[in-house]
Amino acid sequence: MQKITFDTGIKTYQINESGILRFNPSDPNLYKRFKDLRMEIEQIQKDYNERSKSAETGEDAIDLLAEYDARVKKSLSHVFGGENDFDSILSGANVMAVASNGELVITNFLDAMFPIVEDGVKTYAKMEAQKAVQEARNK
């Protein structure tokens, strides 16, 4: 079998000291999924806050947190690619856990990723603009 190899723009990022995240930050599809994820996370947090009120025991609350952790990590895999294992990337931390800065782990992660994704989409937009200028010159 022959092998075809080409540049897909995939970049590798070490997340804290635990895991490796691979994705193409200039992929406009990723940007759209990332934007949608931010809205989805807000809804997930609202759903969790509402459902957690009915948790009768600490164990019920922990089960609920585990459910939402799995839900968010599945969404993260959809955004960044299924080959990224977010349990490993986040060292097994529950994304709904509160970090030392008082924010949820997922909030800190998204805040850290935003400038990378934003720069990536700007790179894509710049390339498209350059292509449009070149096409205009060729006419």
**Distance from the first to the final alpha carbon of the chain:** 43
Would residue 18 count as lying in a domain?
A: yes
Please give the Cα distance from 12 to 78 (Å, whole number).
17
Would residue 5 count as lying in a domain?
A: no
Q: What is the pTM of this model?
A: 0.85
pLDDT in tens, 30-80: 999 999 999 999 999 999 989 988 888 989 989 999 999 999 999 999 999
Look up the domain containing 21 and give its range. Answer: 11-112
Would residue 132 count as lying in a domain?
A: no
Structural domain tally of the chain?
A: 1
Tell me the pLDDT of the chain averaged across its residues.
Answer: 92
Q: Which of 8, 9, 17 is nearest to 120 (CA)?
A: 9
Please give the Cα distance from 69 to 87 (Å, whole number).
10
